[in-house]
Amino acid sequence: MNPIKKYASALAAVALISSMNSCKPKNVGSAVSGDAASKTYVAPGKYDEFYNFVSGGFSGQMSVYGIPSGRLLKVVPIFTVNPENGYGYSEETKPMLNTSHGFIPWDDQHHLDLSQTNGEIDGRWIFANANNTPRVARVDLSTFHTSEIIELPNSGGNHSSPFITENTEYIVAGTRFSVPPDDKNGDVPINTYKQNFKGTISFISVEKNSGAMDIAFQLQCPGVNFDLSHAGKGKSHGWFFFSCYNTEQANTLLEVNASKRDKDFIMAVNWKKAEEYLKAGKGRKQSVKYAHNVYDEKTHTATSEIRTEVIVLDTKELKDICYFIPCPKSPHGCDVDPTGEYIVGSGKLAALIPVFSFDKIQKAIADKAYDGDYDGIPVIKYEAALYGEVKKPGLGPLHTEFDGKGNAITSFFVSSEIVKWNIKDLKVLDRAPTFYSVGHLCIPGGDTKKPNAKYVIAYNKITKDRYLPTGPELAQSAQLYDISGDKMQLLLDFPTIGEPHYAQAVEASVIRDRSVKFFKIEENSNPYVAKGEGATKVVREGSKVHVYMTAIRSHLTPDNIEGIKLGDEVYFHVTNLEQDWDVPHGFAIKGAANAELLIMPGETSTLKWVPDRVGIVPMYCTDFCSALHQEMQGYVRVSPAGSNIPISFSTGTNLPKTDSTAKK
Ligand code: K7E
Ligand code: CUA
């Protein structure tokens, strides 16, 4: 074919797929049966049975729902500043969003994975990826605080992440965009992709007790797009599987140019082998720059350091780490069943679902059943790795979760449905429409060794006619299905925050009793803590003024402050003295160019304020903390730059005596 014809035919193929985007499921009217309401009704005062942690997509946050009610419990800020509670605005939390590019207030958060022990969810942490400026975060599920964020060098768009090994030994981060390595001259023509661009996969170790993350090593791989991944488990523990697309190595119009090959790859990674090479000193130390940010629950303060080295293993030179397995048509989801034997690849443009066998892959490697290599990496023969194909499952398969009873459920974006099929005989058992264009789906524990297959939740991209209209942008949405019987039954729609991608769910009992209720004030080691009202003070250090303030129902101490001058930088270090559950105080001051603080009991938080005019400035508590919450307020007096008004502060008295320079 001449290039123009080839281009045209590829375009036609894409147009066909695009035209399928508007497929609507049939039998819409009969989708919900009469007992759905009772199955999702959680009576007032009763708790939900499951926590559901849902990625926020372009909101950069994670939201937490109760299942089966679909009630929103909390939004946890991870990569995006959150004025609601001061995350990323308070002096203590700003370092969490530091990167090698400086402070970044936003990211695109796609996947979450709960920590596991022996392949089961242990309820300690949940990890999150950042898809724009490559990072991985750890959220502590005793506080629901983001505790740690690590940036990833040699990467561009951390999409296939943060998938976890069965004992949380590692979480991985595979780059979506291949890019020139950070220590190479990146000032190259973009069309030198094939020569200069590399794909990097990071293995981030997680310390057993503290959860502390560290980049253990990186694998330098051919320049393709890594999309999703899952770890082996059970018999395949020690292996990791990544879907890749753009094996065409296109750098422009990927819609067409990365959709040409009949098959792309799933990359199987023997990470135990990589560990051996690492121990044997086969890694190359590479100088790079990446941020590592840690939040300390004792000082209630984050610190950020820039690290300058990673160890890179070259998978072209170091044999037996990586193998490519052909997988039809731009694979997206890459999911491993609870036994660890079956690896499911979902080609976005494929009309079937290939299921690969771990045993067959091992045999293929032993027999060298290869179809040559791709950029130095052996390509296993498709048939040699294949267990079988699910025929005509639907259009546009994306992601698969498992029910632990020998079945898989796959989402289909184009045909807007979820489809249940049997892993052994690869027969389709049931299908249910989604409204509409489902992306990820989630069964509690559905990517672990022990799923709890009561429900599946579908996270949809398009809602069209499902909710009251809200202008051009409609609500994003999740849908809950009962999968306890043979037939999947739609129970509930609930809107989500941001755009939901992957989600995790777990029995509430695994997490709820871990909740920290308040921070012990005697353990507060923030350098600016005031452990009682007697310790409050206002201290001038040149043009910086530090206010050591306390909050308790229902006053701030001090609540009258004078002697602030134009040109000062004022730091309000507010300690919440309460020692009881569910009594946060807020703090805000007029004209502050950031956000409020929301201070948990026993915690200290700091708001920076630069006054911009002379006058009296109100400040107050923002959280309705008691019947006299509206009384929880005070004033700051701002004087001209050259003024000689001394610093003074008080609560409940009018000391100091009336200032002589004040106008009568
Ligand atoms: Cu399918 Cu970013 Cu996991 Cu979304 S990705 S759907
Ligand atoms: Cu404290 Cu309102």
What is the tens place of the pLDDT at every residue in 49-75? 999 999 999 999 999 999 999 999 999
pLDDT at 15: 42
> How far apart are alpha carbons 202 and 180 in whole angstroms?
15
Is residue 655 very low, low, confident or very high in pLDDT (cuts 50, 70, 90)? low
The phi-psi region of residue 189 (left if phi > 0; otherwise alpha if psi is between -120 and 50; otherwise beta) is: beta
Q: Is the CB of 398 under 6 A from ligand 1?
A: yes
> How far apart are alpha carbons 135 and 488 in whole angstroms?
36
* CA-closest candidate to residue 355, choices 450, 424, 419: 424
Q: Which ligand is closest to the CA of 634, given by its number?
A: 2
What is the tens place of the pLDDT at every residue in 408-450? 999 999 999 999 999 999 999 999 999 999 999 999 999 999 9
List all residues whose CB is within 6 A of at least one atom of ligand 2. 551, 585, 621, 623-625, 629, 632
CB 325 within 8 A of CB 334: no
Quote the ligand 2 centre to 577 CA distance (angstroms): 12
Query: Which residue out of 398, 437, 460 has the highest number of ligand 1 atoms within 8 Å of its CB and is therefore the one to mutate?
Result: 398
Is residue 654 very low, low, confident or very high in pLDDT (cuts 50, 70, 90)? confident
Question: Atom 1, ligand 2: which residue's CA is nearest?
Answer: 585
Give percent of the chain above pLDDT 70. 94
Q: Is the CB of 439 under 6 A from ligand 1?
A: yes
* CA-closest candidate to residue 193, choices 148, 229, 147, 156: 156
| Average pLDDT score over residue span 489-510 | 97
What is the chain's mean pLDDT, rounded?
94
Which CA distances in Å does 412 have to 501, 545, 642? 14, 58, 68
Quote the ligand 2 centre to 608 CA distance (angstroms): 19
Quote the ligand 1 centre to 643 CA distance (angstroms): 58
- The number of the ligand 2 atom at minimal distance from the alpha carbon of 626 is 2
Q: Which ligand is closest to the CA of 461, given by its number?
A: 1
Burial class, 504, CB count within 10 angstroms (exposed 0-12 / middle 13-18 / buried 19+): buried
Is residue 317 very low, low, confident or very high in pLDDT (cuts 50, 70, 90)? very high
- The number of the ligand 1 atom at minimal distance from the alpha carbon of 55 is 4
- The number of the ligand 2 atom at minimal distance from the alpha carbon of 554 is 1
Single pTM value for the model? 0.94
Q: Is the CB of 111 under 6 A from ligand 1?
A: yes
Q: Is the CB of 332 under 6 A from ligand 1?
A: yes
> How far apart are alpha carbons 126 and 113 in whole angstroms?
6
Q: Which ligand is closest to the CA of 553, given by its number?
A: 2
Q: Which ligand is closest to the CA of 230, given by its number?
A: 1
* CA-closest candidate to residue 176, choices 191, 197, 148: 197
- The number of the ligand 1 atom at minimal distance from the alpha carbon of 333 is 1
Q: Is the CB of 573 under 6 A from ligand 1?
A: no
Both structure tokens of 387: 């267990």
Kindly give, in sequence order, each residue whose CB lies less than 8 Å from that of residue 442, ignoring residues fewer than 6 positions away: 52, 401, 456, 457, 459, 502, 503, 504, 505
Q: Which ligand is closest to the CA of 113, given by its number?
A: 1
DSSP secondary structure string for all residues of 572-590 = EEEEE---STT--EEEEET
DSSP secondary structure string for all residues of 39-76 = HH---TTPPPSEEEEEE-BTT-EEEEEEETTTEEEEEE
> How far apart are alpha carbons 404 and 420 in whole angstroms?
12
